[in-house]
């Protein structure tokens, strides 16, 4: 799945089963999780089983999937299992069969048929709209607030004299600090390594990042994380441009609403208003990042106002590493300057060059090559896209939007420094026979958790152990799988008490 989904997915997986039970009571939550967190194939499975009266025997499901797609199937099933959506039972004839767990199935059915009257999808404001807030205004509000947050992190708000500065509430600043995105030293705000990574991500990922931070911190201030989470999923199912009643909400939800307004995720005229508007940041939460790229990111990250309808991108890179950015936004300029040597600045254009020094400098600050490339990619000028599409027509392989020499070189510059990569996980070892070792190893490879294996040493390293352990148990292997830390340092294993990391030397 796209990288954007990984963080909320990881967070949700970490929740205990009872939390899921509470979450899935709401149809809007079931719908949002179904739409946002599951791979395509998993969606097909869920829909196929949803209206079946009896559980679907595992053998039938295996027949249904192509034999070449075993990996995708196991991956889909594993995600469904981790999110507590699919469970296995035994039917009357003692056949293992899949079924959808109950609160989820009931809620999803309710969402599809609409046969319920909880206010799961929000209540429209009935009051006559004196001051109708247009979608353009909402976008502008969302952009200003969100850019304000970014500007605060990067430290541009002080130097953007021409812009009306956004007053960030104390809660926002605390949240950013709690999430280790910024550090406050005395009066100065310093962005951290995580923060650099954060500001270069696309907006959808950023919003999710912030929201997860918010949910995590909600516990600390005495709010129920389930309540906050399901409220977030409710927000994601609202409609842009209409206003919703606040009177049905619980105090905690109202409090959340006020906090989210500071980020520009929702809009209310003032804190005591009887209704609120979701902005595009909220309504596109369950979309893929591509779906919101144009209208939002265009107006959000592009030069304020000036680009308007002309699309989202403003950066042109040539194969000679020169970079031209048609922007006057101080935020964007300071972001670009993180990894570029800027040369000239014109009223609507900055030019510069990506060099080995500039990229190394960025990498030393904790920015990765992938982040730089994805930033460039998501802000590529339409002209670049047009060019690449023109190149690709005729050939089978689509040409990349950015010049391949540049992207490769940025990665190579990173590799010059970056020779080790750590992967947290678990080492399985001490298998008595080769056959005993091979079966779980192969299984781990199929479900996509295998990182490293050594047939000679009969060891393998996985990113998560629950399913492999379950597999071992089901295989009636009585071996105690040693879950211990494998630190591999160019071929040498050191065993410690807790599983933490695996280093791949390159």
Partner 1 sequence: MNSVDASEHYELGAPDLSPSLLTIVIDTNPHAWAVLEDSLPLSKAIANILVFINAHLACNYANEVAVVASHSQKAAWLYPSHSEPQYRRADHDGDVTMNGTSDTTTPKTNKYRPFRIVEEQVTRNLKELMDSTTGDDLRGNMSTMLAGALTLALSHINRRTLAWAEEHGGANAEDAAADGNGGGTTSTNRYSASNEDERLQSRILVVSVSGSTDAAHQYIPVMNSIFACQRLSIPIDVCKLSGDAVFLQQASDATKGVYMALAEPRGMLQYLMMAFLPDQRSRRHLVLPTRVDVDFRAACFCHRRVVDVGFVCSICLSIFCEPPPGDDCMTCGSHLDIRDNAKPALLPRKKKKKKRVNGASGTGTPMSTPTPGP
Residues 427-456 interacting with partner 1 (rule: CB under 8 A): none
Q: Judged by CB under 8 A, which of 63, 127, 136, 184 binds partner 1?
A: 63
Is residue 466 a contact point for partner 1 (CB under 8 A)? no
Is residue 237 a contact point for partner 1 (CB under 8 A)? yes
Q: Provide the CA 246 distance to its chain's centre, in angstroms.
A: 29
Q: How many CA atoms lie within 13 A of 400 on its CB side?
A: 15
Using CA atoms, how far apart are residues 51 and 48, in angstroms rounded to an integer? 7
- Between residues 161 and 309, which has the closer beta carbon with respect to partner 1? 309
**Within 85-114, which residues bind partner 1 (CB under 8 A)?**
108, 111-114
Is residue 59 a contact point for partner 1 (CB under 8 A)? no
Is residue 490 a contact point for partner 1 (CB under 8 A)? no
Residue for token pair 């591509």: 290
Choices 69-77, 136-144, 262-270, 453-461; region in contact with partner 1 by CB under 8 A: 69-77
Burial class (CB in 10 A: 0-12, 13-18, 19+), 114: exposed
Contact 304, 143 (CB under 8 A): yes
Length of the chain: 506
Is residue 243 a contact point for partner 1 (CB under 8 A)? no
Q: Judged by CB under 8 A, which of 140, 194, 269, 288 binds partner 1?
A: 288
Using CA atoms, how far apart are residues 358 and 254, in angstroms rounded to an integer? 46
To the nearest whole angstrom, how small is the minimum distance from the Cβ of residue 483 to partner 1?
25
Q: Judged by CB under 8 A, which of 7, 22, 35, 464 binds partner 1?
A: 35
- Closest C-alpha to 292, from 407, 203, 218: 203
Q: Judged by CB under 8 A, which of 26, 29, 107, 120 binds partner 1?
A: 120
Residue for token pair 């309504």: 283
Q: Judged by CB under 8 A, which of 188, 394, 456, 497 binds partner 1?
A: 394
Q: Judged by CB under 8 A, which of 8, 55, 103, 122 binds partner 1?
A: 122
Q: CA dist 46 to 87, 257, 287, 357, 447, Å?
A: 11, 32, 19, 50, 19
Burial class (CB in 10 A: 0-12, 13-18, 19+), 205: buried
Which residue(s) pair with 88 in the sheet?
Answer: 98
Q: Judged by CB under 8 A, which of 194, 227, 408, 430 binds partner 1?
A: 408
Using CA atoms, how far apart are residues 110 and 117, in angstroms rounded to an integer? 10
Q: Judged by CB under 8 A, which of 78, 192, 289, 327 binds partner 1?
A: 289
Is residue 127 a contact point for partner 1 (CB under 8 A)? no
Residues 6 or more apart whose Cβ sits within 8 Å of residue 86: 45, 46, 49, 77, 80, 98, 99, 100, 101
Is residue 412 a contact point for partner 1 (CB under 8 A)? yes
**Within 306-335, which residues bind partner 1 (CB under 8 A)?**
311
Element (H, E) at 198: helix 193-200
Is residue 40 a contact point for partner 1 (CB under 8 A)? yes
Choices 162-170, 320-328, 377-385, 487-495; region in contact with partner 1 by CB under 8 A: 377-385
Contact 120, 113 (CB under 8 A): no
Site string for partner 1, 133-172 (x = CB under 8 A): ----------------------------------------
To the nearest whole angstrom, how small is the minimum distance from the Cβ of residue 175 to partner 1?
26
- Between residues 151 and 298, which has the closer beta carbon with respect to partner 1? 298
- Between residues 152 and 276, which has the closer beta carbon with respect to partner 1? 276
- Between residues 98 and 437, which has the closer beta carbon with respect to partner 1? 98
SS3 157: coil
Q: Judged by CB under 8 A, which of 96, 386, 457, 473 binds partner 1?
A: 386
Please tell me the count of residues contacting partner 1 according to CB under 8 A. 74
Using CA atoms, how far apart are residues 378 and 290, in angstroms rounded to an integer? 9
Using CA atoms, how far apart are residues 408 and 116, in angstroms rounded to an integer? 54
- Between residues 332 and 378, which has the closer beta carbon with respect to partner 1? 378
Structure-block tokens of residue 169: 């509430």
- Closest C-alpha to 167, from 138, 140, 145, 190: 145
- Between residues 390 and 494, which has the closer beta carbon with respect to partner 1? 390
Is residue 290 a contact point for partner 1 (CB under 8 A)? yes
Is residue 294 a contact point for partner 1 (CB under 8 A)? yes
Is residue 128 a contact point for partner 1 (CB under 8 A)? no
Choices 59-67, 189-197, 214-222, 299-307; region in contact with partner 1 by CB under 8 A: 59-67
What order do you get walking across the sheet with 96-100 strand by strand?
56-57, 96-100, 86-90
Using CA atoms, how far apart are residues 300 and 201, in angstroms rounded to an integer? 13
């Amino acid at each position: 799945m796209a990288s954007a989904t990984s963080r909320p997915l990881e967070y949700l997986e970490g929740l205990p089963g009872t939390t899921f039970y509470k979450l899935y009571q709401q149809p809007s939550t079931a719908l949002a999780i179904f739409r946002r967190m599951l791979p395509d194939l998993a969606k097909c499975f869920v829909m196929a089983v949803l209206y079946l009266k009896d559980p679907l025997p595992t053998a039938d499901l295996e027949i249904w999937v192509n034999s070449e797609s075993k990996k995708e199937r196991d991956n889909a099933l594993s995600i469904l299992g981790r999110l507590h959506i699919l469970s296995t039972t035994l039917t009357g004839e003692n056949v293992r069969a899949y079924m959808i767990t109950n609160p989820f199935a009931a809620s999803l059915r309710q969402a599809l048929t609409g046969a319920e009257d909880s206010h799961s999808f929000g209540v429209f404001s009935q009051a006559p709209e004196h001051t109708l807030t247009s979608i353009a205004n909402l976008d502008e509000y969302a952009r200003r607030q969100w850019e304000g947050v970014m500007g605060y992190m990067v430290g541009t708000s002080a130097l953007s004299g021409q812009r009306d500065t956004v007053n960030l509430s104390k809660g926002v600043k605390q949240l950013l600090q709690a999430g280790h995105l910024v550090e406050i030293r005395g009066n100065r705000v310093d962005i951290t390594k995580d923060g650099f990574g954060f500001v270069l991500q696309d907006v959808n990922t950023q919003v999710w990042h912030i929201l997860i931070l918010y949910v995590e911190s909600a516990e600390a201030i005495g709010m129920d994380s389930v309540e906050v989470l399901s409220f977030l999923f409710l927000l994601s199912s609202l409609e842009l441009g209409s206003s919703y009643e606040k009177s049905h909400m619980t105090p905690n939800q109202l409090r959340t609403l006020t906090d989210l307004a500071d980020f520009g995720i929702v809009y209310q005229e003032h804190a005591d208003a009887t209704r609120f508007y979701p902005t595009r940041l909220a309504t596109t939460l369950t979309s893929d990042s591509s779906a919101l790229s144009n209208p939002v990111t265009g107006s959000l990250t592009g030069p304020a106002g000036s680009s308007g309808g002309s699309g989202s991108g403003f950066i042109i890179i040539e194969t000679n590493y020169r970079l031209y950015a048609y922007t006057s936004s101080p935020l964007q300029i300071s972001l670009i300057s993180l990894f570029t040597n800027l040369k000239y600045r014109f009223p609507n254009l900055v030019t510069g060059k990506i060099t080995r020094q500039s990229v190394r400098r960025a990498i030393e600050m904790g920015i990765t090559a992938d982040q730089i490339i994805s930033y460039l990619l998501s802000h590529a000028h339409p002209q670049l896209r047009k060019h690449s599409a023109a190149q690709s027509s005729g050939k089978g392989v689509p040409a990349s939007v950015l010049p391949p020499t540049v992207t490769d070189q940025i990665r190579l510059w990173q590799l010059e420094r970056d020779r080790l990569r750590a992967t947290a996980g678990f080492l399985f070892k001490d298998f008595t026979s080769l056959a005993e070792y091979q079966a779980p190893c192969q299984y781990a490879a199929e479900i996509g958790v295998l990182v490293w294996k050594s047939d000679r040493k009969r060891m393998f390293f996985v990113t998560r152990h629950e399913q492999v352990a379950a597999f071992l148990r089901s295989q009636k292997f009585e071996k105690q799988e040693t879950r211990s830390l494998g630190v591999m340092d160019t071929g040498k294993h050191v065993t410690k008490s807790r599983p933490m990391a695996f280093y791949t030397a390159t």
